[in-house]
Amino acid sequence: MKTIDELLSEGVDGKRVFVRADLNVPLADGVITDDGRIRAVLPTVKALADAGAKVVVASHLGRPKGAPDPAFSLLPAAERLGELLGAPVAFAQDTVGPAAHAAVDGLQPGQVAVVENLRFNPGETSKDDTERGEFADALAALADVYVGDGFGAVHRKHASVYDLPARLPHYAGHLIATEVGVLKKLTEDVRRPYVVALGGAKVSDKLAVIDQLLGKADRLLIGGGMAYTFLKAQGHEIGKSLLQEDQLPAVKEYIERAEKTGVELVLPVDTLVAPGFPDLRTKAPAHPSSVAVDAIPADQEGLDIGPETRKLYAAKLADAATVFWNGPMGVFEHPDFAEGTKVVAQALADSDGFTVVGGGDSAAAVRTLGFDESAFGHISTGGGASLEYLEGKTLPGLAALED
């Protein structure tokens, strides 16, 4: 895989360089609530601009279903990119149409343009190779060189991620090179003890990675909504807590496998419960109570790990040489149920080991809860991509960047 460093050594002055970024930032009423993904692509965009390239940045945002939708416009992301670069960024109101061509044709060396949401065109996400290829051809007409730097999208077989690199000289940007290097540290020659903390709502989203990690990790900590399916598999009553009943057979099998293979599988010993899911808009007090996992009332819902589990998980993380964390321990968006996630994040921040926050809600939680990002070894920009890499899958966007 050639990297941007090789491209820069070859020279990019005056060349149109297409950067497939991941500007899929969260928006609230058109305002960006977390610009982490924009900041993550800055080193690549700035390096190219400083070297005299005409930089064309493209990304998806949300799921607009193949047609323009103002709610998913990349304009706020383009404006924020300009603020972070400290220089004007041109914005094209289409992706491959007249506005895009005019914006690119108007670039001087060292300038940057952002084209509109790639998913406004059905060819971006089409399962039909021909339709995707036609859109990739249209994108290729905007550039001389391709730089892949949207790590959060590399697990998608989309036109701008998979098909476009085949049509242009292609290189990995700084972000993708960093992300792949980090993931190799989690899969090859891992420093031990290797501890993995998994949370989030659905156990079905994590089964494949648990399957792989049972052969690699020394210790697995389970939290979040997915923990209640594990607790149910152990025979506990879980009240109104989240349950994926169809996953119980697989979860039971994994519990047995962990015991046989010597992997320490650590589950909550207590939980915070409330009569129902909290109001995340008003943040009204939910009046939670802490109960042991074998004493969850039938009319209560588990929404965070309890105080004893927090102590237990912090202790299980303390001696780790390598840590991977993906998924919050509870409904961290509400102050009454944020402490479990906060304790796990603090344990990683305090660790002397190599710590990786696996993107998605985990990365959002770190920022929401006010942690200094430099306290962690790495904060990934791609939760789904990270998990699929750890599952041993071939990621289309990485395969496309190989020579």
Catalytic residues: 37, 202, 360, 384
Using a 10 angstrom Cβ sphere, with 0-12 exposed, 13-18 middle and 19 or more buried, the burial of residue 322 is buried
Q: In angstroms, rounded to a whole number, what is the distance separating the alpha carbons of residues 27 and 64?
A: 14
Identify the DSSP state of 30: T
Which residues 6+ apart lie within 8 Å of 241 measured at CB? 225, 228, 231, 271, 273, 296, 300, 301, 302
CB 54 within 8 A of CB 109: yes
Please provide the DSSP assignment of 340-393 as one string.
HHHHHHHHHHH-SSEEEE-SHHHHHHHHHTT--GGGSSEE-S-HHHHHHHHTTP
Which residues 6+ apart lie within 8 Å of 330 measured at CB? 199, 223, 224, 272, 303, 304, 305, 337, 338, 339, 340, 341
Locus of tokens 């010597």: 262
